[in-house]
Amino acid sequence: LSYGQNKSKSSENGLKGFQLGLNASPDLCYRTLQNNSGDPSLDGLIKMRNEEERVILSYSTGIHAAYQFNQCVGIETGLSYAVRGFQSKKTASISPPDPAAPPYFKSVNHFHLLDIPLKANFIFGENKLRFITSVGVTTNIFLKEMETTILYFDTHTDKHTFESTDPYRTLNFSPTLSAGIDWSLHPNVHVRVEPSFQFSALKIIDTPVSEKLYSAGLKMSLYYRL
């Protein structure tokens, strides 16, 4: 009699344990405005402002720690520095004709955040290239917001940047979802590429016209198994 199995026990255990990883993600971000006061006179302004919003390219980078319970299930947390935001479209100035006034202008807003994710990882497959999906929530700690006004003149462009003093929420939470591939380069080294999406669960500012941030990115990570 002969007994066999399709994989060795060592290969099963090779995916278990702690992992440390570095990650970076380019993100496309945008903002939506909501009527927080119930005043119907604001609806027209909010609709117009939402139509003027444009996505902006942002980024996040950090270090993560993961624990894999078995081949399929693990948990992950970490600390990342993220810059997200929004921008308006290039808009014609409505001021009276003035040689000193710019014909067009645009505003760009960047939020600087510390992100602390907590998520569950689910991995499928038995080869070196496997499918991974993750679901969880990210705690967003607000650091500062930088506002840039870009003035478009006929012959040149001026930029003015300053730190906002608006009362943005210090602590927020973002449901996070991602799905991609996990590639084993070595028994102890893994590369992951995951398209991801997250949004603010709470309003980022509590004013009559409130805001929420959304972002979608491509998270690229390198993990080392301890």
Q: Which residue has the tokens 């949004």?
A: 199
Buried b (16+ CB within 10 A) or exposed e, 99-128: eeebeebbebbbbbbebebebebebeeeee
Neighbour tally for 132: CB within 10 Å = 21
Amino acid at 36: N
Q: Residue 14: what pLDDT?
A: 55
Q: Residue 96: what pLDDT?
A: 57
Q: Residue 169: what pLDDT?
A: 94
> Which has the closest alpha carbon to 125: 5, 11, 3, 10?
11
Residues 214, 201 contacting (CB under 8 angstroms): no
Interatomic CA distance for residues 31 and 59, integer angstroms: 16
Q: Residue 72: what pLDDT?
A: 92
Interatomic CA distance for residues 125 and 129, integer angstroms: 8
> Which has the closest alpha carbon to 93: 106, 81, 105, 79?
105
Interatomic CA distance for residues 190 and 213, integer angstroms: 31
Kindly give the parts of the chain with pLDDT less than 50: 10-11
Interatomic CA distance for residues 85 and 35, integer angstroms: 20
Q: What is the pLDDT of residues 26-61, one digit of tens each?
A: 999 999 998 888 888 888 888 888 888 889 999 999
Dihedral class, residue 42 (left if φ above 0, else alpha if ψ from -120 to 50, else beta): alpha
- DSSP annotation of 226 reads -
For the chain, the maximum distance between any two Cα atoms, rounded to a whole number of angstroms, is: 95
Q: Residue 4: what pLDDT?
A: 58
